[in-house]
Amino acid sequence: MKVPFLNLKAQYDSIAHEVEQSIREVLSTCAFSGGPYVQKFEEEFASFCGCKWAVGVGSGTDALWLALLGLGVQPGDEVITVPNSFIATAEAISLCGAQPVFIDVGEDSFTMNPALLEQAISPRTRAIIPVHLYGQAADMDAILAIADRHGIPVVEDACQAHGAEYKGRRAGSMGIAGCFSFYPGKNLGAYGEAGCVVTKDEDLAKKLRMLRDHGQSQKYYHQLVGINGRMDGIQGAVLSAKLKYLDSWNAFRRTHASFYQEALAEVRALRIPKEMPYAKHVYHVFAVRSPDREGLKQALNASGVECGVHYPVPIHLQQAYAGRGEGEGSFPVAERVAKELLSLPMFPELTTEQVSYICDQIKRFH
Ligand SMILES: *Cc1c(COP(=O)(O)O)cnc(C)c1O
- pLDDT at site 271: 97
- pLDDT at site 173: 98
pLDDT tens for each residue of 144-173: 999 999 999 999 999 999 999 999 999 999
- pLDDT at site 347: 98
- pLDDT at site 198: 98
Instruction: Write down all domains in the chain, each with its CATH number in brackets.
Output: 8-103+110-243 (3.40.640.10), 246-365 (3.90.1150.10)
Q: Alpha carbon 162 to chain centroid distance?
A: 8
- pLDDT at site 94: 98
User: How far away, in angstroms, is 88 Cα from ligand 1 center?
Assistant: 6
In terms of C-beta density within 10 A (0-12 exposed, 13-18 middle, 19 or more buried), how is residue 223 classed?
Answer: exposed
User: How far away, in angstroms, is 161 Cα from ligand 1 center?
Assistant: 11
Catalytic residue numbers read: 186
- pLDDT at site 92: 98
- pLDDT at site 275: 97
Nearest CA to ligand 1 atom 10: 88
C-alpha span between 35 and 71 (Å, rounded): 25
Question: Which residue numbers in the chain have pLDDT < 50?
Answer: none
CB under 8 Å to 301, separation ≥6 — which residues? 307
Nearest CA to ligand 1 atom 7: 60
- pLDDT at site 339: 98
User: How far away, in angstroms, is 229 Cα from ligand 1 center?
Assistant: 15
- Ligand 1 neighbours (beta carbon < 6 A): 59-61, 85-86, 88-89, 131, 157, 159-160, 181, 183, 195
pLDDT tens for each residue of 184-225: 999 999 999 999 999 999 999 999 999 999 999 999 999 999
Of ligand 1's listed atoms, the one at least distance from the Cα of 183 is 7
